[in-house]
Amino acid sequence: MKYCQNCGKEIPENASFCPECGAAVKAPASPEVNNVPQNRKVCPETHLALAIITTILCCLPLGAVGIIKASRVSTEFQAGNYEAALKYSADAKKWSIIAIIVGVVGILAYFALIVGAAIISEL
Ligand SMILES: [Zn+2]
């Protein structure tokens, strides 16, 4: 129920003038979303190149997940599923980063093993 801002009486929801005092009733503020001009949506980054590079250089299974996610970005975007495309874009980036971390840790562990073996064999 709305109230008149002039006299404070209850007024019908759809009334544009107060039946009591005749004051004009302010239209409810339209939600902010409607005031924002609809930007043309741009396809989210696929991170496909990043996924391919990590697959080649680092960790094949994890990088492959990134490639699959990356390839879904443009597919979903073209199907009009902007939210899904955004999600796959974030996923592709996430999996590529995981692949890089796993790859780097793996390489470091590998070198640590070689160095460790070399040190032990010197003893
Ligand atoms: Zn009134």
Q: What is the per-residue pLDDT across 21-59, written as a single tens digit (0 to 9) for each?
A: 998 887 655 555 544 445 567 888 888 887 887 777 766
Distance 23 CA to ligand 1 centre (A): 6
Q: With 80 as the cut, is the pLDDT of residue 123 above it?
A: no
pLDDT at 7: 93
Distance of CA 8 from the midpoint of ligand 1 (Å): 6
Q: Please, what is the Cα angle at 48 between 43 and 52, to 5 degrees?
A: 180
Closest to 90 (Cα-Cα) out of 38, 45, 29: 45
Q: Are residues 33 and 85 in the same domain?
A: no
Domain count, the chain: 2
Q: Is 64 exposed, middle or buried (0-12, 13-18, 19+ CB in 10 A)?
A: middle
Mean pLDDT of the chain: 82
For residues 15 and 70, membership in a common domain is answered with no
* Ligand 1 center from residue 29 Cα (angstroms): 19
Say if residue 58 is in the same domain as residue 104: yes
**Element (H or E) spanning 3, and its range?**
strand 2-3
Q: Are both 54 and 97 inside the same structural domain?
A: yes
Q: What does the pLDDT read at residue 15?
A: 85
Tokens of 16: 């544009």
| 32 and 63 inside one domain | no
Whether 82 has a pLDDT exceeding 80, the answer reads yes
User: Do 7 and 65 share a structural domain?
Assistant: no
Which pLDDT score, from 0 to 100, does residue 36 have? 47
Q: Do 68 and 108 belong to one domain?
A: yes
pLDDT at residue 100 in the model:
81
Residue 36 and residue 57 in one domain:
no
CA distance 108 to 82: 39
28 alpha carbon to ligand 1 midpoint, in Å? 16
Look up the domain containing 15 and give its range. 1-40
Q: Give the Å distance between the CA of 27 and the centre of ligand 1.
A: 14
Cα gap 98→63, rounded to integer Å: 8
Measured in angstroms, how far is the CA atom of residue 25 from the centroid of ligand 1? Answer: 8
Q: Is the pTM of this model over 0.75?
A: no
Which percentage of the chain shows pLDDT scores above 90? 17
33 and 54 part of one domain: no
- Span from the CA of 11 to the centroid of ligand 1 (angstroms): 8
